[in-house]
Amino acid sequence: MPHRGDAPALVRLVVSIAVGAAAAVGIAQEIPRGAPLAGWAIGAGLFVIWTWLALWPMDNTATETHASKEEPTRLGAFAIILVAAFMSLIGIVEVLSRKDPVLLLIALLSVVASWAAIHTMYAMHYARAYFGTDGPAGVDFHQDDPPRYSDFAYMAVTVGMSYAISDTDIGSSKLRRVIVFHALLSYFFGTVIVALLINLTANVGS
């Protein structure tokens, strides 16, 4: 069933970034150095929540309809998220040198938000690849019913957490290339998250 909260990915992202920017302006009054990262964390977090409120309830038919329709803005949203996520890492490098627990916590939240946003876009990408112009193909979920967005979320999170595919079979070279890049990106952000957790723990304990 279509969900009334659905909107093009780029629209969701632009609105979320606008909310994050407004939040950053307010936070800057108290934590000027952490405001940009905090704003990004809020914006990316809103994007993830909004997206899954719209996509998660969709059944098999609604998922196929939504994923199959042409949406040029989706690629633009994906590119913006990747660029913004990597730009946030530049701010994190500056934050790490401050050794301030509050700033470290903000940095950690911003990376986690980036991580979640990236996997959200990959879940949408996998659904689009599966329900392509040539019909459903590329992934075998070993189930009788056609997959829905929750299945593609499972696939994206599996790659994001384990850097591998578990109980689904991939039958497309193009999709394998996408998964390789997704796994490498996940490993990179996972490493940054662990490093921030170590720094945060060390600073709180000192």
Q: CA torsion, points 194, 164, 180, 51, in degrees to nearest 10?
A: -70
pTM: 0.86
Q: Are 17 and 45 in contact (CB under 8 A)?
A: no
- Rounded to 5 degrees, φ, ψ at 140 are -110, 110
Give the other-Cβ count within 10 Å of 145's Cβ: 9
Q: Are 141 and 151 in contact (CB under 8 A)?
A: yes
User: What percent of the chain stands above pLDDT 90?
Assistant: 35
Helix axes of 72-96 and 101-130: crossing angle, nearest 10 degrees: 160
Residue spans of the domains in the chain: they are 9-205
Burial (CB count <10 Å: 0-12, 13-18, 19+), residue 43: buried
19 vs 205, more confident: 19
Task: Encode pLDDT of 139-197 as tens digits.
Answer: 899 998 989 999 999 999 999 998 888 888 998 888 898 899 899 988 888 888 888 77
- How far is it, in rounded angstroms, from Cα 170 to Cα 156? 13
